[in-house]
Amino acid sequence: MSAQRISGKEVAAAVRARVARAVGNCPSQPCLAVVLVGEDAASQVYVRNKIRQTEEVGMRSVHHRLDAATGQQQLEDLLQALNRDPEVDGILLQLPLPAGLDEASAIEKIDPSKDVDGLTELSAGRLVQGKPGLRPCTPTGCVILARHHLGDDLSGKHVVVIGRSILVGKPAALLFLAENCTVTLAHSRTRDLPGLCRQADILIPAVGRPEMVRGDWVKPGACVIDVGINRVPAPEKGAGKSRLVGDVAFEEASRVAGAITPVPGGVGPMTIACLLQNTVLAAIRRRGWAVRADL
């Protein structure tokens, strides 16, 4: 029996539709400022998609593109200027930055009220303390996908998150904890990782290792949310060709799991949808609009 495939594209479309309705209720257009430094090809594709989808839901997008030779001070001066701009509601600094630039320092220059990636220390602290704030996009998308399959009440589910990064692993653990799940945060030094994974009702691999999680790591009927996006050689497509795979061996896991996200088309679309959701929430909060968002 094959697992149900959870379509991130379909769920993300529903999130974007809710965002568009909220934007339509706003007195003016929320605005997202995107800052891209350098010529990284993947980042350019991501940024184009973010700008396009921002405008499709009725928000305004401002794009700042800096060359790879940009200095730390110049980048941080731009971020500070965007903080002061009353028309800008969200600031997205596209990562990774070119070598020589300090990502952590740059991120901390972003006003937490405009931190739509949820990466500043204040945003992280609010998440830890359970206070209102903007949450990291990819982990938020994981929770939405799990609720889409399992229902809104995730209480008591055992969640195993593999990976302890500040971008996905740690915030995902905290977000599922806020859903009243029992959470285990696993990593490279976890003993008997396969055995631990077999205890998970919800399994969240986020380590960046192609097809590391095998089918016999998965508890029968489990919900698998695969965060990994890895490019591997695909000689069957031709010389020099490649394909995308997740951190989970998809075909093997599909024979055991109850539901699983594909790669691509799973968590990826949710990240941008949650970025748009954060932008309209940031606009409503910082401008004091009496808007019912239903987000």
Q: Residue 233: left if φ>0, alpha if ψ -120 to 50, beta else—which one?
A: beta
Cα pseudo-dihedral 147, 151, 152, 153, rounded to 10: -110
Query: Looking at the predicted structure, is the pLDDT value of residue 33 above 70?
Result: yes
Report residue 46's pLDDT band, with 50, 70 and 90 as the boundaries: confident
d(CA 242, CA 253): 22
What average pLDDT does the chain have? 96
Which segments of the chain belong to CATH 3.40.50.720? 137-264
27-112+268-295 homologous superfamily = Leucine Dehydrogenase, chain A, domain 1 (3.40.50.10860)
d(CA 222, CA 234): 29
pLDDT single digits (tens) 134-168:
999 999 999 999 999 999 999 999 999 999 999 99
- Active site residues per annotation: 50, 94, 117
Whole-prediction pTM: 0.95
d(CA 124, CA 209): 26
Query: Looking at the predicted structure, is the pLDDT value of residue 293 above 90?
Result: no
Which segments of the chain belong to CATH 3.40.50.10860? 27-112+268-295
Report residue 82's pLDDT band, with 50, 70 and 90 as the boundaries: very high
CATH number of 137-264: 3.40.50.720
Q: What percent of the chain has pLDDT over 70?
A: 100
Q: What number is the average pLDDT over the span 72-87?
A: 98
Report residue 87's pLDDT band, with 50, 70 and 90 as the boundaries: very high
d(CA 112, CA 118): 8
Query: Looking at the predicted structure, is the pLDDT value of residue 121 above 70?
Result: yes
